[in-house]
Amino acid sequence: MSQFSTSYHLITSNQQDAVELLKDANLHGYVFPEKEGIVTFVIEQDQTSEFNCCEQLLIYNTKPLVFYINAEDHGWSYEIYDKNECIVSYASYFNEEGLTEGYDYDDPESFVPNEDINYYIYNGSFQIERAKELLKNSKEYKKKIAIIEKSKVIVDSQNGLESTLSLKDEALESYEFVKEFGIFFYEWVSYHYVEMDLKEDHIFDYGSFGKFPLLVV
């Protein structure tokens, strides 16, 4: 079973900042404990809109915010917001259509891989100087900027502006981004997963990382 994680990550050392943001935006959600200067939270959205950053949330946002999606077999992405404006975006998708020749979906054995095309499609936009200014007071600032700059090089490479990418290996995997950016709560994290797994007294079981309470808004 593939995970479909959609989560928000506020750059702050105060868990209450996320709580107040959700209250101001009149949104229901769950707020994780602060970890390494980042507060993760999830909000209730319908299945049609949950893969888009919530506009209602952005109206009230005042701090650096990361919107992260991981759909595993289909791809993953991140967006960084300065208040309500997206200043960095990156997406990596598996090139399902381009990798097949005459593929009949009713006959899986008809799959013939195209060896001369990229296995992954990358796109994004990057305001690097604004990102530097936005994140300058965050923990592990240099690592955050370095992974953003790597993302830009990958997109530029696909556009023929930099060195050639590997056709088969994904240039930047999701786990590398979250590790370098300092996001701790990201795997199998979405409103629907949390809602399903939450125990009494709002205790959340995060596997090997232990059990801890979430704040409910």
Instruction: Give the pLDDT mean for 96-102.
Output: 58
Note the pLDDT of residue 158: 81
pLDDT at 104: 55
Q: Is the pLDDT confidence value at 176 over 70?
A: yes
**pLDDT tens per residue across span 143-174:** 999 999 999 999 998 876 666 676 677 889 99
DSSP the chain: ----EEEEEEE-S-HHHHHHHHHHTT--EEEEEEETTEEEEEE---TTTTTS--HHHHHH--S-EEEEEE-TTSEEEEEEEETTEEEEEEEEEE-TTTTBSS--TT-GGG--B-TTS-SEEEEEEE-HHHHHHHHTTSTTHHHHHHHHHHHHHHHHHHTTSSSPPPSSS-SS-HHHHHHHHT--S-TT-SHHHHHHH--GGGEEE-GGG-EEE-EE-
Report pTM: 0.89
Residues 198-212 have a mean pLDDT of 81
Over residues 9-22, the mean pLDDT reads 98
Q: What is the pLDDT of residue 79?
A: 98
